[in-house]
Structure 1
Amino acid sequence: MLVKLGAGGLTLDAVAGDGGLAVADVEAVFPHRDDLLTALVIDAYDDSAAAMERADEAARAAGATAGARLLAVTRALRAWSFANTAEFTLIYGSPVPGYHAPQDTVPPASRTPAVLAGIVRSALEAGELTPPRRAVPGPPLLRPEAVELFGGVPEAPFSDLVERGIVLWSSLIGLLVFQVFSRTHDSVRDESAYFDYAIAVAAEGIGLAVPSDRTTVTITD
């Protein structure tokens, strides 16, 4: 129903009718449409993050560098996004009118940046990062939750690494939005290769080198 109607058109009546159920049967599980949307949002975040976590586990088992791990997990999220465009749209597309995601969606939503943060932290500890040429000016730009997710503020010259990591994360999601919604098809010959290139460019912002050989990392899902 999410695929056919989109999140904005999803109603308990529509779900009941499509499943041959009484509306009361659906309401017994999801009293309100928002309860159903919340369950779908949580499933989408969990499913997409699990794909990234599996890819990272496989890359680490193969002895991959942090850069190769980053490429593996971002490719995994890209593959999930194209295979589940309705779910991708639900969590990263336009907001559903009248719906406000509750606190229950925060932990699942945090799994994606947590995968990225784990890779960046590993790169920092392994000495795989190149120090930035300039730091973020002024007072700290982070909320405590972001610092906690990363495991603390690194020492100089990487004291703004968390801020840079958020740039990497937002660049990844923005790139996926462009590709899933066909915003680059008229300007890029090979969108898959361009994705790898863009991830490598974004990773430069945190001082991480991503392998350029497209055969270096294999995704297993």
Structure 2
Amino acid sequence: MEDNVISDAVIKETARHLLPRLGAAGLSLAAVAGDGGFALADVEAVFPHRDDLLTALVIDAYDASAAAMEQADRAALEAGAPSGARLLAVTRALRQWSFAHPGEFTLVYGSPVPGYHAPQDTVMPASRTPVVLAGIVRSALAAGELTPPRRALSGTPLLLPAAVELFGGVPEAPFSDVIERGIVLWSNLIGLLVFQVFNRTHDSVKDEAAFFDYAVAVAAESIGLTVPLDGDPRA
């Protein structure tokens, strides 16, 4: 390999270093070249356009955050944890990753980057997070760990076929709307992380980590799953 050839890994690491300062919208190939001491032409040889670099960063962020969740879930399974404890473990893992990588978290869950449209290549990495959550919900359903909802809220089909396929089919009543409820759980999780990573709860909550666990437990109750918490008599 020639001495002036820069690896994509080095370029991406430089870009990740810039994300918290410049934001995704301010990231440019010229900025990466300047910060890393590279020739712009060498950066463009690897990532011809800024959007190519953003896509690579988006894919890496989704893969890294999901890998943290998957590792936490494997550890919980090996420890014989019930589904509620598995959910708490994977959401804590995502929270830990999010605080450790705020620039990448903002890239994938913050405001859209003007002019950037994520290509199809990002779909599979992005799906890894809901796949982890869906796997836990499926396990809870199979193990009889879900409490039937007080009433079904979805009277008409609300799901795209891809969502049903990801979950593995629509469960029978009384859990026929558990996929919809699972999407609510997923969106609540991401919204909670946005609030905490962007420091939106600092003047309302005195213990952010404890409140995160509490909020996950509250959201999990919408699908009939009990998350064990310290001090909870049901734990």
1:55 correspondence with 2:58: no
Alignment map for 1:26-65 (pairs within 5 Å): 26-65=43-82
- 1:131 corresponds to which letter in structure 2? P
| Partner residue in 1 for 2:42 | 25
In the TM superposition, what is the alpha-carbon distance from 1:137 to its structure 2 partner?
A: 3.5
Deviation at 1:100, TM superposition (A): 0.6
| Residue correspondence of structure 1 range 44-123 to structure 2 within 5 A | 44-123=61-140
Equivalent position to 2:144, from 108, 121, 127: 127
Q: Which residue number corresponds to residue 159 of structure 2?
A: 142
Q: Show structure 1 runs of 5+ residues with no match.
A: 215-221
Of 156, 175, 188 in structure 1, the residue corresponding to residue 205 of structure 2 is 188
Q: Which residue identity is paired with 1:160?
A: D
Report the 3-state secondary structure (helix = DSSP H, G, I; strand = E; otherwise coil) of the residue aligned with 1:6.
Answer: helix
Q: What letter corresponds to residue 181 of structure 1 in structure 2?
A: F
Q: Tell me how far 1:4 sits from its aligned partner.
A: 2.3
Cα distance between partner residues in 2 of 1:171 and 1:136: 17
Q: CA deviation at 1:88?
A: 0.4
CA shift at 1:23, angstroms?
Answer: 1.2
Q: Which residue of 2 aligns with 1:161?
A: 178
Read off the aligned partner of 1:170 and give its amino acid letter.
S
**Residues 69-114 of structure 1, C-alpha deviation per residue, up to 9 Å, x if partnerless?**
0000000000000000000000001111111111100000000000
1:138, 1:200 → 2: CA distance?
26
User: 1:62 corresponds to which letter in structure 2?
Assistant: A
Work out which of the residue numbers 13, 24, 29 in structure 2 matches 1:12.
29
C-alpha deviation, 1:49, in angstroms: 0.3
CA positional deviation for 1:136: 2.2
Q: Which amino acid aligns with 1:22?
A: A
* Letter aligned with residue 182 of structure 1: N
Q: Distance in 1 between matches of 2:38 and 2:81?
A: 49
1:20 to partner: Cα distance? 1.6
Q: Which has the larger radius of gyration?
A: 2
CA distance in 1: counterparts of 2:48 and 2:86, whole angstroms: 42
2:159 counterpart letter in structure 1: L
Which runs of structure 2 are paired with 1:165-180 in the superposition (5 Å)?
Answer: 165-180=182-197
| Separation (CA, whole Å) in 2 of partners of 1:77 and 1:15 | 27
- Structure 2 distance, partners of 1:2, 1:51, is 21
The residue identity in structure 2 corresponding to 1:88 is F
The code of the aligned residue for 2:150 comes to R
Residue-pair matches, total: 214
SS at structure 1 position matched to 2:194? helix
TM-score, normalised with respect to structure 1: 0.95
Matching of residue 201 in structure 1 with residue 203 in structure 2: no
CA distance in 2 between counterparts of 1:205 and 1:4 reads: 38
After TM superposition, where is structure 1 displaced by more than 4 Å over at least 4 residues in a row?
none
